[in-house]
Structure formats: C-alpha cells, structure tokens
Amino acid sequence: MNKEEDILLKEGKMLPVMEHFYTIQGEGAHTGKAAYFIRLGGCDVGCHWCDVKESWDPTLHPLMNAEEIAETAAKHCKIVVLTGGEPLMWNLDILTSKLKELGCTIHIETSGAYPLSGQIDWITLSPKKTGLPKEEIYAKAHELKMIVFNNNDFKFAEEQAAKVSENCRLYLQSEWSKRDEMYPKITDFILANPRWQASVQTHKYLNIP
C-alpha cells in the first residue's frame, strides 16, 4: 500500500473489500431477509474457529472506492450488511453516508472491539474473549449473538448479556463444526433461560453465501 492509498483508507474513501454479494441473511433477528453483504478485510481478534480466516489480512484484499461499492449494493437491495473480518477497524463514515443517501438500511456484524463509526441502523454485537467490546457499544447493540464452541461459552454469554440494554435481543449460535454437540445444550439452556433465542446458520443449510 502506498502513502496515498493509506490516506484514502484512513479517511474511509477506500476500503479493503474481501467480497460483496446479494443473498439472504442467514442468522439472528433478520434471518430470511434479502440483504447485500459487504465483507471488509482485516481482523485482529483472532478467533481460532473463525470460518473466514482469509479475511484477517487486509492487504490481501483490493481497496475499493467506498461510494462506488455503496452504489453497487443499493442497486440490488436496500438492506446492506457490513461484515468482516472486523468492519469497525475502518472508517465507515463515507460508505454509510452514501448508503443512507441511496435509501439503505445499514446493519453491521461486529465484535465491538473497535469504536463505532458511520451511520448504523442495526448492530449485531458478537463479543469474543480475545478482544472484548468497547464499553460504549453494549448499550447501542440491537442483538447480542454469542457463538457457543464449548460449555464455558454459556457463562461468557451470560456475562455479556448483563452488559447490554434490556431491549437487546439475545441469541445463542453454535459454532458450525460443533452444531451436533452444542445445539442440544443450547436448547436445554434456552428452556431454562427463555430470554435467550437460538440462532442457526440457515444459509449453510440453504447452500448460499
């Protein structure tokens, strides 16, 4: 990356885009809705079970003009999901401002490990032990999505749920490779703690992105 590109990246005029695609949201509160996903490269949270580890190094992904990618997304759908990687590593002001100008509702999927930027309508907070959320994001989260990999994650989920607002929706979602083991436990946990809901990666069952 040259000096000019670095400046444009910091300003949010350019962003490292791993992929962008039109599909159906597969997880959480908006499961089943058509949405345009913009997956930004770059993440230093380092979850060992991450299913998009190729997103971690931002230098592997092309820098794209933020306003142009917004225009592409808006042509397909007015619900746009910013994901990663960790999208809050980057300045999202220009991207989200353009999406808003084009009439879009903007969702973000984040670990919360970086400060919020941009205009966001729906925040899916998915905390990770390796990089805990900034305190200010808990009150703003619309849904808390906790990934369950082992039994210790239920305790972590409860600890994180204690920090979000009472209006935040609470989801437990098994890590994909552990689904046969963990969903029976998730079911039992939800029956004992009915404020929680189950989230399933339906897009993997539908064989879509």
In the annotated binding site for substrate, the residues are 24-26, 39, 83, 209
Which residue(s) pair with 110 in the sheet? 125
Cα-only R_g, the chain: 17
Task: Judge whether 173 and 145 are in contact, CB under 8 Å.
Answer: yes
Residue stretches of the annotated binding site? 24-26, 39, 43, 47, 49-51, 83, 85, 126-128, 209
Residue stretches of the annotated binding site for S-adenosyl-L-methionine? 49-51, 85, 126-128
The CA-based diameter of the chain, rounded to the nearest angstrom, is 55
Rounded CA separation 119/117 (Å):
7
Q: Using alpha carbons, list the distances in angstroms from residue 186 to 28, 93, 117.
A: 15, 37, 33
Q: What would the two tokens of residue 69 be?
A: 């990618």
Residue stretches of the annotated binding site for [4Fe-4S] cluster? 43, 47, 50
